[in-house]
Amino acid sequence: VKERRTRQLRAVYATVRDAVDHPTADEVHARVRRRMAAVSLGTVYRNLQKLAAQQHVRVLRLANRAARYDAIVEPHDHFVCERCGAVADVVRGERVPAGAAIHLTRAGYRVRSQELTFYGLCPRCGADRRSTRRRQGGS
């Protein structure tokens, strides 16, 4: 007997899958709690890493402190707003620089994956520099 499909696991996955804002473990925890009572943060972390190991979610470690989770596992990039912290998915407009990868491969490196992240200001924060709230609160 192994690999159980617990209520908690399902809830954690559903939460990440339905989120559009790349929530942190804490945010996932808060959202899961709104649907079912008393799920511990530790359990959320454990399920999150289990899902990551199974490739059902991707872990994003951007400039920020806390890791963020993304249920879209297909290759794509991200944009991080340096003002409000929001993370957006970026459609890969053209193939990422094969040049560097080939360079590495020739030098004996085995490239397994790559991550491209853009930093700057999102439309809301870039528009005018006063009237923006710090975060789009994870309710």
Residues that bind its own copies (CB under 8 A): 61-63, 77, 79, 82, 88, 90-104, 107-123, 126-127
Among positions 34, 35, 40, 120, the unique one binding DNA when judged by CB under 7 A = 40
From the CB of residue 98, how many other CB atoms can be counted at a distance below 10 Å? Answer: 9
The CA-atom distances, in angstroms, between 111 and each of 8, 55, 128 are 35, 18, 41
The least CB distance from residue 137 to DNA, in Å, is 14
The least CB distance from residue 62 to its own copies, in Å, is 7
The least CB distance from residue 23 to its own copies, in Å, is 19
Which of 135, 130, 133 lies closest to 86 in space, CA to CA? Answer: 135
Residue with tokens 């996955």: 13
Partner that binds at residue 33, options its own copies, DNA, none, CB closer than 5 to 8 Å by kind:
none
7 binds DNA (CB under 7 A): yes
User: How far apart, in whole angstroms, are the C-alpha atoms of residue 97 and residue 12?
Assistant: 35
User: Closest CB to DNA among 59 and 102?
Assistant: 59
85 binds DNA (CB under 7 A): no
Rounded to a whole number of angstroms, the CA Rg of the chain reads 17
DSSP state at residue 8: H
For residue 86, report the phi and psi dihedrals to the nearest 5 degrees.
Answer: -60, 145
The span of 39-47, 82-90, 99-107, 126-134 binding DNA (CB under 7 A) equals: 39-47
The contact set with DNA (CB under 7 A) reads 1-9, 24-26, 38-43, 45-47, 49-50, 65-67
